[in-house]
Amino acid sequence: KKTYAQAAESAVSKSTVSKSAQNPEKTEKNTAHASIHRKSKISEVRVAETQNVHSVPEITKLVSINVKHAQKEMKFVNILCLSALIAKKNMHLAQKN
């Protein structure tokens, strides 16, 4: 038995093949568009599947945790960037001397 995600991906893939066969000049553009469309559809299906497994408050809590982790990672990246900038300035000063 196929999952919803597999069914969605299969349906989108089939429509992509038939469209590109009809219009070979636009194959690359259609493929890129279909890829985006496929990812969007699969994301929608995954959200639906997630909502079947978790309640909305659980999903909200998980998203909140993910946001907090992302904020910590951004702080770390900012510190790395500042450290790199300081190192660059120190190297520049050392070259002057």
pLDDT tens per residue across span 74-90: 999 999 999 999 999 99
Give 18's contacts (C-beta < 8 A, 6+ positions apart): none
User: pTM to 2 decimals?
Assistant: 0.41
Residues 78 and 48 in one domain: no
Give the number of C-alpha atoms closer than 13 A to the C-alpha of residue 87, restricted to the C-beta side: 6
The percent of residues in the chain predicted with pLDDT above 70, rounded, is 46
pLDDT tens digits for 10-34?
Answer: 655 555 444 444 555 555 555 656 6
Residues 46 and 71 in one domain: no
The pLDDT of residue 6: 57
Which range marks the domain in which residue 62 is found? 55-97
Give the number of C-alpha atoms closer than 13 A to the C-alpha of residue 35, restricted to the C-beta side: 6
Q: How far apart are CA 28 and CA 86, in angstroms?
A: 44
The pLDDT of residue 47: 65
The pLDDT of residue 44: 66
Domain count, the chain: 2
User: 89 to each of 20, 67, 78, 84, how far by Cα in Å?
Assistant: 53, 33, 17, 9
